[in-house]
Amino acid sequence: MAERPEIDIEKLATLARINLTEEEKAAYTGQLKDILGFFRQLQEIDVEGVTPMAHPFAVPAPLREDVPGQPWAPEAALANAPARREDQVVVPKVVEDA
């Protein structure tokens, strides 16, 4: 398998919006390399003929009847909202202006 390029820990930290010290960057870089190494080991396993599954036993999903009901009143739906305005939940802005 071809060798992967070096892990850009600063780019990952920027994408995760976290600040890392130099010691943390060194530690996390090593840990990420180890994790990716384990994935490379898994890719080498021959799984030909193995049936994909999500559970070791054939268990059907417990589904309930889809029956329409009465909608919640706005007061009940917004009872635990930290902030609300005009029957809507108010949340902090997460997208910067372009």
What pLDDT score does 98 carry?
62
How deeply is 22 buried, as exposed, middle or buried, from its count of CB atoms within 10 A (0-12, 13-18, 19+)? exposed
Dihedral (CA of 70, 72, 73, 76) sign = positive
Whether 58 has a pLDDT exceeding 90, the answer reads: no
Query: pTM to 2 decimals?
Result: 0.47
Residue 56 is encoded by which pair of tokens?
């070791």
User: What does the pLDDT average to over 30-51?
Assistant: 91
Quote the pLDDT of residue 6. 80
pLDDT of residue 1 exceeding 60, the answer is no
Average pLDDT, the chain: 88
Query: Domain limits of the chain?
Result: 9-43
Q: Provide Rg for the chain, Cα atoms.
A: 24
pLDDT of amino acid 2: 54
pLDDT in the model for residue 9? 92
pLDDT of residue 53: 83
